[in-house]
Amino acid sequence: MHRQDVTAAVGPAAAAASPGGVDAEVILPSIMPDEFADSHAVELEICMRWFSSDAGQVAKIEAPLGYTNVRAHALFHRDFLRKQQAAAVATSAQTPINTARRR
């Protein structure tokens, strides 16, 4: 499957996953994060804690497809979070700061 085929289905997070137009395989999680409603920083942190937990380490060995599913879910949260952060930086760069003192 080519990247552009997947990008149409999942939106901007997939496009950010492989910059430069290089064909890449994107693994879709069974539950896609909601770009608008999810708290991406919180959910990414939960996933990261699970990866290093006993349950995550056992899943990595005994249920690699489940582990890969959680990883794919976490990567979409990471990409959405980066997109939000970039938008915030762009917005703050456009807002002029008035440093002149009032008299």
pLDDT tens-digit map of 64-84: 999 999 999 999 999 999 999
Which pLDDT score, from 0 to 100, does residue 22 have?
72
* 22 vs 64: CA distance, rounded Å: 26
Percent of the chain with pLDDT over 70: 71
Helix (H) or strand (E) holding 25: none
82 phi and psi angles, rounded to 5 deg:
-60, -40
Which pLDDT score, from 0 to 100, does residue 23 have?
76
CB 11, CB 35: distance < 8 Å = yes
Residue spans of the domains in the chain: they are 3-94
In the predicted model, is pLDDT for residue 1 greater than 50?
no
Which pLDDT score, from 0 to 100, does residue 9 have?
46
Can you give the pTM of this predicted structure?
Answer: 0.70
In the predicted model, is pLDDT for residue 14 greater than 90?
no
